[in-house]
Amino acid sequence: MSTIEFKSLGKRFGAQVVLRDINLRIEEGELVVLVGPSGCGKTTLLRILAGLEPASSGQVLIDGQDMTDAVPSDRGLAMVFQSYALYPHMTVQENLSFGMRMRGMPKPLIQARLERAVSVLQLQPLLGRRPGELSGGQCQRVAIGRAIVQEPGAFLLDEPLSNLDAELRLNLRLELIRLHRELRATMVCVTHDQVEAMTMADRIVVLRDGQVEQVGTPQALYGQPRNRFVAQFLGSPPMNLLACHDSPPPSSLHVPKQATHWGLRPEHWRVVATPQPDTLTMQVQHIEHLGSHNCLHGTLGTSQQRVCVQTEAEQDTQPGLRILLQPLLERVHLFDAQGLRMNPSEPHPGASTP
């Protein structure tokens, strides 16, 4: 399995700068998930890694070798796209073996690899069908199977699960995690799905406007985001962000005067019955009943700042009521005017900044 490294990688399309100064090392067997808003450069980065798009500056190293200008077939990588691009006139079996046959691999080896992929992805009942006779999820499985039989140095997956319904998505997500463990495969995966990113990744890379905002374990990025952008990008519903001059942070906290905002995730408040030193009032406007828990939406104190608070499903609340909230002090994040997080906390071992 391969290591991958980007060194000062840059990309422009005409005058538009799409990626700038990307420095990132992906270890052998690591599963790295790229996240970021639409258009931030995730697909472009994968395409440059795969050799489908030239870099404008910088280097791509695979296993320590400079592969910046290598053709895709020399890179030993397999890419699975959101649109799975199977050959429509071939059966599943032919789709899976086509690449291997083209490379003139001996039949017994083709058969062995095919059997492995078929068993891992449970494709046996589908082998004789053509793509037109498969569901979206089945096509996706075949596309992943086609990548597996190549036994690549790394898998590049661009939103591989996004066309699937919720149940299939969950199944295939678990499948990918298992595959990653079994094959000890290096994987670089793009997703828009928070849960996918948090549950699959060894490390998450947050991109914005073609730049790396932060790299780290899911826990590190969730617990110690470097700035407001990362804080609000990861987590659903997002972290509540409150302006200190409108809603002062809890008075028992030591808050440096440079702090302009404080943040607290929806799950880090407690509904309490009686006022305590740092209690805030919330006017509940809307309740989302999500089965396992509720999300209360409303405004805080007299400031009218909007907040979302997660409560237990049994918590009895009505829209229009005022409730008392206790912020969990140790969970409060402080941000300065530049949006940088300024908590004097221990750096997390998995956290790093670009």
Q: Which residue's CB is nearer to ligand ATP, number 47 or number 333?
A: 47
Q: Which residue has the tokens 């009218």?
A: 304
Q: Do the Cβ atoms of 7 and 49 come closer than 8 Å?
A: no
CB of 346 to ligand ATP, least distance (A): 32
Residues lying near ligand ATP in the complex (CB under 6 A) are found at 13, 18, 36, 38-44
Give, in order, the Cα–Cα distances in Å from 90 to each of 115, 117, 129, 140.
18, 17, 8, 15
Residue 191 contacts which entry, ligand ATP, Mg ion, none (Cβ below 5-8 A, type-dependent): none
By CB under 5 A, residue 191 contacts Mg ion: no
Residue 38 contacts which entry, ligand ATP, Mg ion, none (Cβ below 5-8 A, type-dependent): ligand ATP
Q: Which amino acid is at 14?
A: G
Say how many C-beta atoms besides its own lie within 10 A of residue 23's C-beta.
Answer: 13
Per-residue mark of binding to Mg ion, 28-57 (x: CB under 5 A): ---------------x--------------
Q: Which residue's CB is nearer to ligand ATP, number 18 or number 114?
A: 18
Residue 231 contacts which entry, Mg ion, ligand ATP, none (Cβ below 5-8 A, type-dependent): none
CA 37 to CA 191: how far, in whole Å?
10
Q: Which residue's CB is nearer to ligand ATP, number 162 or number 219?
A: 162
Q: Which residue's CB is nearer to Mg ion, number 208 or number 270?
A: 208
Q: Which residue's CB is nearer to ligand ATP, number 20 or number 333?
A: 20
Which residues of the chain form contacts with Mg ion (CB under 5 A)?
43
